[in-house]
Structure 1
């Protein structure tokens, strides 16, 4: 990890910062095109709900248009669950996961219609989704992209576990990561366990020095890194660093990460840079948890309930 003398002072993400760093707003007569168009590529037969939570998060964050690309078997369900969205069915495997190459053939031609992308929530076949992401990146032309869940593993050396850097091939060499460094920065949102999985470090090592882990990953992969936890550290490739404290244990619930990914992507679509969208998304997500805690107690509220809080919170945090 990095030594303390090489680290910048983190900027605290609080209400004062957010009001000084306002989100892009459409004009008074702005239409849904001006508010941004998002493509969410997410879900599998067994985890269709992740795509629903992420998609609604996009809309609650103020994006104007939403499309969700998911496996064919759950596309009708998503179309009914989110009538505001266009839903695109993608080829799938027998197990109900994305069929990478065939899905790429279908999705590649429509990427240019969307201003921001989210890939990963609810997708289970890590190898297939990583091949898909690696094939898709050259077609993005710099569009803002958030990689979540298994899609983040595109930067992980193939077959790697724990401290090892990868699975040895037949020649005894480590298999390289599909992407060693992004040409244009993207946003990755790991928690400590996922960061250990991606970087080859032990989870305990990441937890002992989360700032160093986030900064090193940001510089290594040319990515904005949000290392999530009770304290979330956001690191940019140029060394800038933000720190958010807040929320409660109730946010550690199934689907919570999917809602956060959708919120952040919706803010990206509105024109917020990756680091701003991330800082605002983390703060809004935490404050939504605090509101729900006040009404229901610290445990038992649902990830879907987080999303209903977001529009009012954004309004409250507008510049005075």
Structure 2
């Protein structure tokens, strides 16, 4: 696993910049002999209505350097997804009449146990079935679990605080999702982002990346990193799925939860800035973000 930078006494947090990242390098891929050495990532999510979210996330994970990709999605979306994503093993999960995932089943649980990192939530709606699925993943996972989108709801924080497992969790909510978890509103979350990220990371025992124009990443021990780079164009449909995939991909490669979140946010922001310079401030697509990631990694 990668080392972490020494803690700083700065209560306001540490800005993510070139100096910080140079002292905290990603695992060196040149030492790997095969794709197995760069880890296996599993993306769980999607539905018959929203199959593309896991495609975006899975692409992000591979672009971040993960060696192998598996995607578990609603059964009726599995075959079309496998055709458009030939790099992935696609597992069809039992689904509800409306097209949402009902359960992991034996194949899904086996994939969770074998993954170095698991991402849950892209393209999923919050609800009882999703909560049961998230609980099953956390109970069975042997690596880092990234929770995003539908995996985040009003019960998530309380459930994580009393989870029986030792799973390492990364959460990637935007202000609206964070507000729903806290029973607050997005404006309050944005105004108090640093304090809320720190407090929730500590209380829930997670690494929390609170996304926004300024993104705050907090660890359970109180460390805080702040990202101010990026582009307004990153506020587009599917962008968060790409970010969650990048974080999971870095975790599969051997980064710690904190490093995967910090580097993932940084790479996503820099990719958006590049696209804005080349294509325009807004209007680029989420599917275009991932292609920028390899060239931004040292």
Asked if these proteins are the same fold (TM beyond 0.5), I'd say yes
Contact 2:91 2:107 in 1 (8 A): no
Instruction: Tell me how far apart the structure 1 counterparts of residues 70 and 32 of structure 2 sit (CA, whole Å).
Output: 23
How do 1:227-246 and structure 2 match up within 5 A? 227-246=210-229
How do 1:253-292 and structure 2 match up within 5 A? 253-292=236-275
Match of 2:169 in 1: 186
Match of 1:169 in 2: none
Instruction: Tell me how far apart the structure 2 counterparts of residues 91 and 208 of structure 1 sit (CA, whole Å).
Output: 41
Instruction: Tell me how far apart the structure 2 counterparts of residues 199 and 192 of structure 1 sit (CA, whole Å).
Output: 10
Instruction: Give the CA deviation at 1:125.
Output: 4.6
Match of 2:5 in 1: none
> Does the alignment pair 1:250 with 2:233?
yes
Instruction: Tell me how far apart the structure 2 counterparts of residues 76 and 154 of structure 1 sit (CA, whole Å).
Output: 33
Is the alpha carbon distance of 1:29 and 1:125 closer, same or farther for their aligned partners in structure 2, counting shifts above 3 Å? closer
Match of 1:86 in 2: 89
Match of 2:64 in 1: 61
Contact 2:209 2:217 in 1 (8 A): yes
Q: Which 10-residue stretch deviates more, 115-124 or 20-29?
A: 20-29
Higher helix share: 2
Q: TM-score, normalised by structure 2?
A: 0.92
Instruction: Tell me how far apart the structure 2 counterparts of residues 44 and 110 of structure 1 sit (CA, whole Å).
Output: 18
Aligned length: 288
Is the alpha carbon distance of 1:212 and 1:250 closer, same or farther for their aligned partners in structure 2, counting shifts above 3 Å? same
Q: TM-score, normalised by structure 1?
A: 0.86
Contact 2:154 2:182 in 1 (8 A): no
Match of 1:52 in 2: 55
> Does the alignment pair 1:96 with 2:79?
no
> Does the alignment pair 1:144 with 2:144?
yes
Instruction: Tell me how far apart the structure 2 counterparts of residues 265 and 154 of structure 1 sit (CA, whole Å).
Output: 23
Match of 1:124 in 2: 125
Contact 2:42 2:117 in 1 (8 A): yes
Instruction: Tell me how far apart the structure 1 counterparts of residues 256 and 91 of structure 2 sit (CA, whole Å).
Output: 27
Is the alpha carbon distance of 1:287 and 1:311 closer, same or farther for their aligned partners in structure 2, counting shifts above 3 Å? same
Match of 1:304 in 2: 287
Report the aligned-residue RMSD: 1.7
Aligned residue for 1:288, secondary structure, equals helix
